[in-house]
Structure 1
Amino acid sequence: MHLLVHFLFLSQFVTALLTANDYSVAPELLPGISSIKDESQIPIMFSGLIPLFSNSSMQDSNKDKDYFFWKFKKRDVNSKRLIIWFNGGPGCSSMDGALAETGPFRVDPTGKLYLNEGSWYNRADMVFVDQPVGTGFSSSTQKKTNFDNDLELVSEHFMSFLINYFTIFPGDLEKELLLAGESYAGQYIPYFAKAITKYNEGNNDKKLNLKAMLIGNGWIDPTTQSLSYVPFALENNIINKESSNFHRLLQAHEQCQNKINSKKEKEQFSYPECDRIINALLLSTRDNSPNTPASKACLNVYDFKLRDSYPACGMNWPADIAYIPKFFSKEGVLEALNLDPSVTPKWGECNDDVLKRLTNPTAKPSIHYLPELLKTGIEIILYNGANDIICNNIGVLDSIEKMQWGGSSGFTSASEYYEWVYRDLNINEDQKAGFIHYDKNLTFISVYNASHMVPNDRSLISRGILDIYMNNVISEIDENGGETLITTSDDNYSDDDDQKQVEKPDINSDYYDYDYAYDYYYYNDGVLKSNENGSGSEGPRSHPKAKITLALVFLLMIVAILSTVVLQNRSQRRRPILRDPNRRHPTSNKTVSWDVSDDDIDFALDNDEVELAINPTEISKNSSKSKTKNGYTAVSNDEDNNALELQDI
């Protein structure tokens, strides 16, 4: 109710918000952009800090909090979808996602940007948000940050950000909204979806068009996930029962199971006894032999095919994460992103304080809310890199199996199973990408040879997850096994509805204007922007690139030449400068020094060759069926439905 009150009075606060133009990013200030030859591949960008509440006079403890966002959209394409991406931790910046996973750019070892060929922004507009407060560039103006301690509070703060975002970018309000992310975002996203559905119930005017949740290697069920470590390690030969340390591992597993089954204590969000299992596994598999390099002493919890130093055990991976601070430290970058270098905190991948404070004294694990979200018709896609340990396939599938929804638990006998094939168009070759298990509006996707951070090491294949959601796939029968194959490709297309050239809107529109230098519409605060000759005309304006067909040249040579001269002269008068000086961000002479150390890389729940780590249960392999909606019930808390018992190992 507290949340709805703020939204009902939102109209009183609108005047305090900046306009979209204030968040425009000058791409020429970002290192590496000038090396991109094809300018059409450079996205339109907006970024900066959005206040959680727009009225600075509000007597509210959250009025001093701002969330940092970075938005990307394709030129000349009016996408009908908007993806908001979150990294996990908790406390890990979504700039990992923007610059090392699904965003349009990656960062090279020198701190310069280059194009990410597997970016998801080729399928939808994307917004990357640092949250909760204290994460990345999202900060508080108070000397002492008031960190969130519960997911309900995190959710309330995100909704404040989201409403203000749509106030600033009203054109995005009608787009299909997709919430996406990985790891601890498996908690964030269902909580945010729950808050959005609640908001829509109390708001008949402008509902938020939430369509889907895409959760990668999600930490959705802490206890079940913890109890999956021993079975996963055994199944993938990470450890064997004959190992001298196996007894220690079983003890940790048993203590966790006993704590869950205990009737004496109130159910908790997670248990310290369960958290110890992963530590026991790392100790049990530590290689102290003299011939083993120190850099390979420990298992990498984000990809069991890789090794790392101890006790990092995956914190030093992936290597390109270390390049991101170099990018943010370069002169002019913070200014280009509409951040004030004099007050902006140093960017760090993860903030331990956020993790330690978010103890969730009242919140339930998000798995409890998936049934009611499925009941609303929201598509839920859980995708998993098969090499990940920390949020592995077995744990996620066990959580689904126990979940009561649609009148039964887990996937039903009517569910469908497909092998997933990725087609590399450059070499015209197919490769096995994973498998898909689908039931009504719930889909599980396993990605072969992929880590905790699927888009980082399997970028082109990961984009196929969006294609699967959009049903933009090829369905065919395998000639050898007779199985149904789902094929995606590395085609850099957009959705059919997104292919259309952006139509020029009414020049009198109260929030659109057209930027000829970039050939796109940018939001306007109601003031008509003048062209170069200063006319400020509200009449239609012609594009400078006039063309004369070859046929006309042959038929009317003299007339064509004269027409060309006239049109060229007119175009020169109308061509604007590269960028409106009033909208350019000044280049600062300030430099920011960064200390790139291991302390900047936090061990958090956020990351090559292996086949499927599990054997799915026997299910139907029928052709596509309609997505009927049935009744849903809550997750069972029955003791018998808890995760694997010791005797099952």
Structure 2
Amino acid sequence: STGNNMHPGTSVAAVVCAASVLLISNGCLSMAMVEDKITALPGQPPVSFAQYSGYVEVDAVRKRSLFYYFAEAELDPATKPLVLWLNGGPGCSSVGVGAFSENGPFRPSGNALMSNEYSWNKEANMLYLESPAGVGFSYSTDPSFYGGVGDSMTARDNLRFLEGWFAKFPQYKGRNLYIAGESYAGHYVPQLAQRMVEFDDKEKLFNLKGIALGNPVLEFSTDFNSRAEFFWSHGLISDSTYNIFTTVCNYSRYVSEYYHGSISSVCDRVMSQVTKETSRFVDKYDVTLDVCISSVLMQSQVLTPSPNSTEQLNRALDVCVEDETMNYLNRKDVQKAMHAQLNGVPKWTVCSRYGFAYLLECLSVSARGITAAFPSERLRFHRVFCPIQCS
């Protein structure tokens, strides 16, 4: 009817909103959610689940926005939990590593994407966040930001991201939420979780049920010391090198000295000997696997300061999966499909290296401190150990 002075487009919008209620129980489909929906990723196989990616602004003054990729659960996403996945580094991409190399729904293979039979979105709605700004497609238009990024800022921005993300996806408010990650996420995850618990003491937004840490970096003074035992037990270093690597300068001491800006001559000599014996062409995570030569020669490992380090972030049957991921995410058609953009960097990289400096404000996050920070009736804590630290 035109007798009620209704705008001609209003009735159409009402129909769209009414239809959207079928998809979202608590109201109309948010326009931001519609804008972030991925129709299909280039080269992907047919799938039944929805995918989204885009930006959430976390600082309007310094124009800082974080990029995410979200894959809903394959079956019955409305009843499945929400998992936020964070990779480490610091400075490495959860989208490139977590989503496309580890536990996401797809793996790049040439120009196509292959289904990952071990994808976590078979059991959960998976949210991958590139954090902090300067990692992957996340950015700040204020270049000075990149010179002073640290744990506190990262935790604040991650909290703001979640607030903004739930505004885009209101149907996930109140959903069982878990935060998971690996390596330096041993810092990211518990610090974010603590802020979420404190936030919920004032405003109820997060139904945080647990955190899971795989191979986490928690305490720099002890966490790296299993490296000598692992290298020696797998025949990568000699008995004499093992002895000096455990008694003269262990790896935790070396890493600590490195990040304090002064490596002692004794630690320098020990690590030079270790690096010489392990070589660049043996995968130190799985000595039985092949090594992707291009990854060995070009990839910078943030938490492995040795200049000849070759350790890779992920291990799968395709040992060059990181190279393939890098090629895939730098394709213009892929970036368009994912609503991604390059801001101030020439290309997307697995780990940030363009003017990005991370301040290690605290080298220790104790497991005892983590469990003490969260009431036992509110949060479950899982820590999974592997032989050596991932980067």
Shorter-normalised TM range: 0.7 to 0.9
**Aligned twin of 2:190:** 190
Contact 1:91–1:132 under 8 Å retained in 2: yes
Q: Do the aligned partners of 1:335 and 1:341 also contact (CA within 8 Å) in 2?
A: no
Name the amino acid aligned to 1:69: Y
Seq. identity, %: 23
- Return the offset for 1:384: 3.1
| Long gaps (5+) in structure 2 | 1-29, 298-307
1:645 alignment counterpart:
none
Aligned-pair CA distance for 1:300: 3.1
Taking a change above 3 Å as real, the CA distance of residues 97 and 22 of structure 1, as seen in their structure-2 partners, is same
- What is aligned with 1:74? 73
Give 1:89's aligned residue. Answer: 89
Asked whether 1:300 is paired with 2:298, we answer: no
CA deviation string 1:427-463 (max 9, x = no partner): xxxxxxxxxxxxxxxxxxxxxxxxx5xxxxxxxxxxx
The residue aligned with 1:25 is 38
Would you say 1:156 and 2:156 are equivalent positions? yes
- Structure 2 equivalent of residue 65 of structure 1: 64
SS in 1 for 2:384: strand
Report what 2:118 is aligned to: 118
Q: Give the CA deviation at 1:64.
A: 0.7
Q: 1:319–1:224: structure 2 CA closer, same or farther, 3 Å change rule?
A: same
What is the rounded CA distance, in whole Å, between the counterparts of 2:252 and 2:218 in structure 1? 21
Matches within 5 A, 1:481-630: 605=391
Alpha-carbon deviation of 1:277? 6.5
- Cα gap change, 1:143/1:354 in structure 2, threshold over 3 Å: closer, same or farther? closer
Give the secondary-structure state (helix, strand or coil) at the position aligned to 1:52. Answer: strand
Matched-pair contact (CA < 8 Å) for 1:269–1:365: no
Q: Which amino acid aligns with 2:320?
A: A
User: What is the SS of the residue equivalent to 2:350?
Assistant: coil
SS of 1:348's partner is: coil
What is the alpha-carbon distance in structure 1 between the residues aligned to residue 108 and residue 175 of structure 2? 29
| Structure 2 residue 216 is matched with structure 1 residue 218 | yes
Query: How many correspondences in the alignment?
Result: 339
Whole-angstrom CA distance in 2 between matches of 1:173 and 1:278: 51
CA contact (8 A) 1:185 1:219 kept: yes
Q: Deviations over 1:62-82 (max 9, x none)?
A: x41000001111356123300
Within the alignment, does 1:367 sit opposite 2:373 as a pair? no
- In 1: Cα distance, 2:33 partner to 2:158 partner: 19
Partner of 1:327: 328
Following TM superposition, by how much is the alpha carbon of 1:167 offset from its aligned partner in structure 2, in angstroms?
Answer: 1.1
Q: CA deviation at 1:368?
A: 5.3
Q: Distance in 2 between matches of 1:342 and 1:220?
A: 31
Tell me whether 1:284 sits opposite 2:274 in the alignment. yes
Aligned match of 1:171: 171
Shift of 1:31: 2.0
Structure with the larger RCO, 1 or 2 (CA within 8 Å, 6+ apart): 2
Per the normalisation by structure 2, the TM-score is 0.75
Q: Could you say which residue in structure 1 is the equivalent of 2:27? A: none
- Residues 298/106 of structure 1: CA separation in 2 closer, same or farther (3 Å cut): closer
Superposition deviation, residue 356 in structure 1: 3.7
User: Is the aligned partner of 1:51 residue 2:57?
Assistant: yes
Hey, what does 1:613 align to over in structure 2?
none
- 1:434 aligned partner: none
Q: 2:247 aligns with which of 247, 250, 254?
A: 250
Deviation readout 1:203-247 (Å, 9 max, x if unpaired): 2xx331111111111111211113333344444554343x36743
CA contact (8 A) 1:183 1:219 kept: yes
Alignment of 1:469-488 (within 5 A): none
Q: SS of the residue aligned with 1:224?
A: coil
SS of equivalent to 1:182: strand
- The offset of 1:306, in angstroms, is 5.0
Determine if contact 1:155/1:191 at 8 Å carries over to the other structure: yes
User: Structure 2 CA distance, aligned partners of 1:114 and 1:254?
Assistant: 38
> Distance in 1 between the 2:208 and 2:167 partners?
17
**What's the offset of the Cα at 1:163?**
0.5
What CA distance in whole angstroms lies between the structure 1 residues aligned with 2:124 and 2:38? 19
Alignment-mate amino acid for residue 358 of structure 2: R
1:269–1:358 CA distance, 2 compared to 1 (3 A):
same
> Letter of the aligned partner of 2:248 in structure 1?
Q
C-alpha displacement of 1:272? 6.1
**Contact 1:269 1:364 (8 Å CA) reproduced:** no
- SS state at 1:347 partner: coil
Work out the CA distance in 2 between the residues paired with 1:180 and 1:248.
32
Q: 1:270 to 1:79 in 2, by over 3 A?
A: farther
Question: For the Cα contact (< 8 Å) 1:132–1:148, is it kept in 2?
Answer: no
Mapped to 2, the partners of 1:31 and 1:255 lie a distance apart of 43
Cα root mean square deviation, aligned = 3.5
Scaled by the length of structure 1, the TM-score of the pair is 0.47
Structure 2 partner of 1:99: 100
The answer on whether the counterparts of 1:226 and 1:278 sit within 8 Å (CA) in structure 2 is no
Counterpart residue type for residue 69 of structure 2? W
The one-letter code matched in structure 2 to 1:300 is D
Partner Cα distance (1:213, 1:107) in 2? 28
Return the offset for 1:278.
10
Change in 2 beyond 3 A, CA 1:277/1:167? farther
CA contact (8 A) 1:48 1:68 kept: yes
Q: Which letter does structure 2 place at the counterpart of 1:84?
A: L
| SS in structure 2 at match of 1:332 | helix
Provide, for residues 82-107 of structure 1, a one-character-per-residue CA deviation record: whole Å limited to 9, x for no partner.
01111110000112111111111110
> Is the 1:136–1:348 contact (alpha carbons within 8 Å) kept by the matching residues of 2?
yes
Residue type at the aligned position of 2:381: I
Matches of 2:215 and 2:105, distance apart in 1? 21
CA distance 1:285–1:19, shift in 2 (3 Å) = closer
SS at match of 2:158: helix
The amino acid that maps onto 2:310 is C
| Structure label with greater radius of gyration | 1
Please tell me whether the aligned partners of residues 87 and 94 of structure 1 are also in contact (alpha carbons under 8 angstroms): yes
For each residue in 1:482-532, what CA deviation from the matched residue of structure 2 results, as whole angstroms up to 9, or x when unmatched? xxxxxxxxxxxxxxxxxxxxxxxxxxxxxxxxxxxxxxxxxxxxxxxxxxx
Which structure 1 residue ranges, 5 or more long, are not aligned? 1-16, 261-267, 289-295, 392-451, 453-604, 606-649
2:222 is paired with a residue of what secondary structure? helix
Task: Provide, for residues 317-352 of structure 1, a one-character-per-residue CA deviation record: whole Å limited to 9, x for no partner.
Answer: 741100012212334221211134687752100014
What SS does the corresponding residue of 1:146 show, helix, strand or coil?
helix
Q: Does 1:338 align with 2:339?
A: yes
